[in-house]
Amino acid sequence: MNAPPLSPPASATLIVHGHTFADFAVGRTFDHQQRRTVLESDNALFTSLTMHYNPLYLDREFAKAAGYRDIVVNPLLVFNTIFGISVEDLSEGGGPFLGVEKLEYGVAVHPGDTLRARSTVLSGRLSAKHDQYAIVAWATQGRNQSGEQVIAFNRTNLVRRNR
Q: Whole-angstrom Cα distance, residue 99 to residue 120?
A: 16
Give CA 34 to chain center in angstroms. Answer: 11
**pTM of the predicted model, to two decimals?**
0.86
pLDDT at 18: 77
Residue 65 identity (one-letter amino acid): A
Give the Cα separation of 15 and 69 in Å (integer): 46
Q: How many CA atoms lie within 13 A of 9 on its CB side?
A: 4
Which domains are present in the chain? 21-160 (3.10.129.10)
- Classify residue 127 by burial, with Cβ atoms within 10 Å: 0-12, 13-18, 19+: middle
pLDDT at 104: 98
Residue ranges of the chain with per-residue pLDDT less than 70: 1, 3-10, 12-17, 163
> pLDDT tens digits, residue range 136-147?
999 999 999 999
What Cα–Cα distance (Å) separates residue 18 from each residue in 25, 136, 156?
15, 14, 15
